[in-house]
């Protein structure tokens, strides 16, 4: 990886308890929407290196979780026609916030960082 490349990890939960858990259809739509958001803001050369479901914990309660990891992310400028310049990471974070509200979730976990390969 070059010095400006990062790894981005996004994790979502299905919800805890019977009252707040997403239906199977909504859960699939939520995962697809997260995948789509990452695809929109990926730079050339970045790639999804992991995606899958597992058990997460939210406020001490286990729930189904979905994680996507993207390697080779480079934050790049976006020039918006109204004059407000921004970056791909800011746009991704904003869109993920929109998805959290759309699917009635408290939060979506996002980590931007460097991955070190050892061995």
Instruction: Report if residue 95 sits inside a domain.
Output: yes
The predicted model scores a pTM of 0.87
6 contacts 75 by C-beta, under 8 angstroms:
yes
**For the domain that residue 83 is a member of, what is the CATH number?**
3.30.70
- What does the pLDDT read at residue 24? 94
Cα(30)–Cα(65) distance, rounded to whole angstroms?
Answer: 11
Instruction: Report if residue 89 sits inside a domain.
Output: yes
| Rounded average pLDDT per 10-residue block, the chain, 119 residues | 78 82 95 93 85 93 94 77 73 93 94 85
Cα(74)–Cα(42) distance, rounded to whole angstroms?
Answer: 8
- What does the pLDDT read at residue 76? 77
User: How big is the chain, counted in residues?
Assistant: 119
Which backbone phi and psi does 87 adopt, to 5 degrees? Answer: -130, 165
Overall number of domains in the chain = 1
Instruction: Report if residue 119 sits inside a domain.
Output: no
Instruction: Report if residue 118 sits inside a domain.
Output: no
Q: What is the span of the domain harbouring residue 40? A: 6-113
């Amino acid at each position: 990886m070059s010095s400006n490349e990062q790894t981005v990890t996004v994790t979502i939960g299905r919800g805890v308890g019977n009252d707040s858990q997403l239906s199977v259809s909504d859960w699939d739509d939520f995962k697809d929407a997260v995948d789509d958001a990452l695809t929109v803001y990926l730079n050339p050369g970045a790639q999804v290196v992991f995606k899958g479901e597992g058990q997460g914990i939210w406020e001490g309660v286990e729930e189904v979780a979905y994680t996507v990891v993207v390697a080779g992310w480079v934050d790049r400028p976006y020039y918006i026609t109204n004059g407000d310049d921004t970056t791909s990471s800011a746009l991704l974070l904003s869109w993920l916030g929109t998805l959290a509200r759309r699917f009635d979730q408290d939060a979506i976990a996002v980590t931007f960082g460097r991955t070190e390969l050892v061995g």
